[in-house]
Each structure stands twice: as structure tokens, then as C-alpha cells.
Structure 1
Amino acid sequence: MRVLRAMATGQRAMMLKDIAAAAGMAPSKAHRYLVSLIRSGLVEQDPANARYDLGPFALSMGLVALDRLDRIRLGQNTIAQLRDEVNETTALAVWGGDGPVIVRWERPRRPITVNVTTGTTGTTGTTLDLLSSGTGLVFAAWLPQQATAALLAREMTSERLPEALRSKQAVNALLERIRSQGYATTASYHYVPGVAGAAAPVFNVKNEISMALLTVGVQGMFDCSEDGAVVHALKRHARQLSERLGATLYAGEPISAVYPDLSLPG
């Protein structure tokens, strides 16, 4: 398993010495394992350059695992665990074409809570704004430009937004900062007055944003600071869920590198 894990995280065909180093074992020992793995179909070797890569049986196993993977079920379990840890309202959102849609949520065990509305993609009244919700900012930061440019341009004309966010340069700078820090927050200009929230992206096997985890609370009672327990827990659970869905960008590559050149046109 150490050999297979080393090859899977290597993201390319590898020489024996590199596999051995990544697996933390002597090359002679790694070679014995590789011979057995080749016989099983989990590994193959290119005779032209002697490099090893994952074999056809490993590919078949991966495809079967992806086919059986239920991202919403896994996300439901994650937001329940996050709720138990931070005791705040937590939710799961997916992209609905015209914006993020909350599909699951968990109520905290406290007397004053923030409830959220769930729906399916395309359901009227459940789509979140991009610039006035942490969830929207997360999708705006990591979705391809063509998916969000028109929505962002329309929202920038809203008088509900701070004056500082009504320009392309300001929005681009904000989204770049979100990609750098790995999460987004909103408070003073949240689309629901008196509510503060934080959200983090969840990536899939293609290292593309698949969902967003979010937690919301009453403004003034909700800690969404970078060093706070809520944000730390949110980012940790988002990372763990991403890895469960097959994302590999956390294995040494910064989260901002997924879409490093996104910006609004003009």
C-alpha cells in the first residue's frame, strides 16, 4: 500500500528510486513489491524508459469507486460532524447554474440559530448571491470565469454591496485573496441582515470545485476570524471531504493553484 500510495500521489510515471524514496523503503524492497503489483495488474512498466505507473486493474478499481461515490451523502456526514464540532448551523451547497444552491443543512444545539432554505438546482428562491454570501464567493473564486462572469457583473451594480466591491478590480482582488486563504467569509454585507457566514470549497477527483461547506451564525455571536476555531474546523473538514472525493491538490500544491489566472474580463 505504501508503494501504491507513493505512485498515486506522484501524479506521473516514476523511476524505481523515486518510488522507493516516496515509500520510505530501500529500492530492492520496493522492486520486489513492484514485481508482485505488476503481476496483479495494479502496476505496469514502460519498457521504453523503465518507468512504473498504475496499471489497468488500478484504473478499473478507481472507476468503480467513483461510480459508487455519493458526494451528497458524504457531504451530509461531513456537515453533521462539523456541526457537532462548532455548534453552529452548517450546510452543503452545490452549483445550480445560476448560483449556489443549499441542498443539506444541520441545526446546532443552541437556543438562537440561523435556519437556511434547501432546494434543488433550478428551484426559485434558493439560489445564493455570489458577492454577498460566503458560499457564493467560494464558487466565484474557483469556478471557471465563463460560469460566473455575467452573474458577477450583474451583482456589482447592486446598491446592497459596499462601494468598494462595485468594480472589477476590487472583485478580482477579493477572489484572489479567497483563493490564497482557502475560504471566504461575509458579515456586514451578508445577503441576510444580521447573519455572518464562512464557506470553504470541496474539490473532486479532477481538482475542480464540486461543492462548498458553509457555516452561518448570528452576527456578533459568530466567530469567522481566520485564527478562530470555526474557520479552522471548516477548512479541515473541507480538505478531508475533498480528499475523500479523490482530490489531490492538497498533496503539496497550494489550493490557489487550481485556477491561478481567474479574473473578470476587461
Structure 2
Amino acid sequence: MGSANEELDGKHGVQSLEVGMSILRAMATGRRSMMLKEIAEAAGMPPSKAHRYLVSLIRSGLVEQDRLTSRYDLGPFALNLGLVALDRIDRIRLGLLAITDLRDETNETVALTVWSDAGPVVVRWERPRRPITVNVVTGTHLSLLRSAGGRVFAAWLPERQTEALLRRELETGRAPAGVATLEDARALLAQVRESGVVVLSGDYFARGVEAAAAPVFNFKNEITMAIAIVGVEGSMDLSMDGETIAALRRTAAALSRRLGATLDSLAMDADIQ
């Protein structure tokens, strides 16, 4: 009997939750803070009923009330839900658009990298319109210290997420020349954070390849992706004051802002007018 009742409840849903959602939808479409009477009218219910739900919504953080004006608005948890949804749904799509535009601007191979349980992984790349290019295989896992995208993640992720992989690269001899200890790696990554971008030529994990990469940050001001420009060694201008690096900085900074990043002191913003 209890099982049948549970199944029936599951099919019908929770009516009180649906009523609460109608209040949130009314507030979201209002596009400004609202008085109780306005919310009740928009949600199609008496003010007394709307008030009871608003009390619970305030307790949950989905709604907040200005004590001076008595107006209600969406609360911090509602904002966080919206930003998390934006981060999960839009970041890859926006990243793909960004690397396509950067490919068109620079006529170089451009790759988009995200973090996985096994480290940085290439999720998409765009080929330039030139006869000799570097092919980047989607799904490739990158070295933390000998790839541009890998260094970006190693520099901006918390060390607790990268230390095991860093130690493995150091112990297996896959670290670049001059980096023999974890302290050496930390010093290298500090330089990356100071410059805001990675330029790697001559010691890339793939022979005859050079690359530059920049971090992309989300609404929490945490690294969420890396954008890399990859080419045949000696074929690109990777000087810090050159047009290629400037375009990379602009693209990464613009995408970070689209994802809600608010850091004002990012080194990658230095060349943006």
C-alpha cells in the first residue's frame, strides 16, 4: 500500500514545490525587485499565500527581502543556480565559438582544452587555411609541464588537484629541462601566472611543435578551460608583444567575461584596450 502511494506521489509531483516555482518564475520575469502584491498578482494567488511561500524561499536563499523597501528579489542561491547552469551548459559552446574566431583571426591551429580526472584533455580543435599545419587529436591528454595547455591548468588550479600528476611527470623524466623537483615546477608555474600566458617552443611534448596558451575563467574566477594556438616550430610569431599572443589574450579574456569572471587584475587583460 505504501509503495502504491509513493508511486502515485511520484507521478503527481510535489504541488507545494510547483507553487513555489511559480513564484520564482514571476519574480524572474519581473526583471526587478517586487512588492508582495505584485508577486501575488503575477503568480495568480492571494498575497497571504504568496507570503507563506516567500518566507520559505527566503530561508532557502532563493529569495531575499530588502528591509528598507520591503521589496523581494531573487536571492544568492538563485543567482548561484543560474550561474552554475550557465557554466555547465554554455561554456563548451562558447569556447568552440571563441576558438573558431581565433583561428580565423590568426590563421593558426587553435585548440580548446578542459580538465578531466586524468588531467588536461583536448575537446576540440580548429584547422587553419594553410598548407602546412599541426593536427591536434581530439581526446589527447596533455602533459602538465611540456604542453602549453597543461601548464595553464597546472598554474591556475589548486596544487592539490595537480600535485600527483606533477610528481609523476617529474619521477618518469617527462618534465622539461631544468625542472627536476616539485619546487622547480612551482617556480616555473609562478612565472606562468605572472605573465598570464604560456609560450612553449623547443621543449614541447611533441617534436617540432610550438604553442601558446591562455586560461579561461568562470564566474567563480576559477580556471575552466584553456585556449591554445599550436603550430610548426618556427612558423609563428610568439613574442609577448606580437599580434598572435595579443589575439590569444583578447580571446581568453573575452570568453572569461562571457562566463562571468570578474577578476580585474588578470595578466591576460594587460593588452586589452
Taking structure 1 as the reference length, what is the TM-score of the superposition? Answer: 0.71
Any idea what SS the aligned residue of 1:156 has? helix
Structure 1 pair 65–174 and aligned structure 2 pair: CA distance change class (3 A): closer
CA contact (8 A) 1:99 1:127 kept: yes
Q: Distance in 2 between matches of 1:172 and 1:55?
A: 45
Aligned runs of 1:1-266 on 2, under 5 Å? Answer: 37-39=32-34, 45-47=66-68, 55-56=73-74, 60=78, 63-64=81-82, 66-68=84-86, 69-119=89-139, 126-159=140-173, 161-249=175-263, 252-254=264-266
Q: Which moved more, 1:239-248 or 1:169-178?
A: 169-178
Any idea what SS the aligned residue of 1:165 has? coil
How far is 1:63 from its partner? 3.8
Any idea what SS the aligned residue of 1:212 has? strand
Amino acid at match of 1:180: E
Whichever of the two has the greater Rg, that structure is: 2
Q: Distance in 1 between matches of 2:95 and 2:222?
A: 16
Amino acid at match of 1:253: S
Any idea what SS the aligned residue of 2:100 has? helix
The structure in which a higher percent of residues are helix is 2
Q: Distance in 1 between matches of 2:267 and 2:159?
A: 17
How far is 1:223 from its partner? 1.8
Residue 49 of structure 2 corresponds to which residue in structure 1?
Answer: none
Deviation per CA, 1:141-172: give whole Å up to 9, x if none. Answer: 01111111011111123445444111223211
Structure 1: any 5+ residue segments left out of the alignment?
1-35, 120-125, 257-266
Q: Distance in 1 between matches of 2:82 and 2:145?
A: 38
Residue 53 of structure 2 corresponds to which residue in structure 1?
Answer: none
Q: Distance in 1 between matches of 2:84 and 2:137?
A: 29
Q: Distance in 2 between matches of 1:181 and 1:90?
A: 20
CA contact (8 A) 1:37 1:43 kept: no
Structure 2: any 5+ residue segments left out of the alignment?
1-30, 40-62, 269-273
Q: Distance in 2 between matches of 1:58 and 1:179?
A: 30
Taking structure 2 as the reference length, what is the TM-score of the superposition? Answer: 0.69
CA contact (8 A) 2:146 2:176 kept: no
Any idea what SS the aligned residue of 1:70 has? helix
Query: Percent identity among equivalent residues?
Result: 48
How far is 1:98 from its partner? 1.6
CA RMSD of aligned residues (A): 2.8
CA contact (8 A) 1:133 1:185 kept: no
Q: Distance in 1 between matches of 2:82 and 2:162?
A: 32
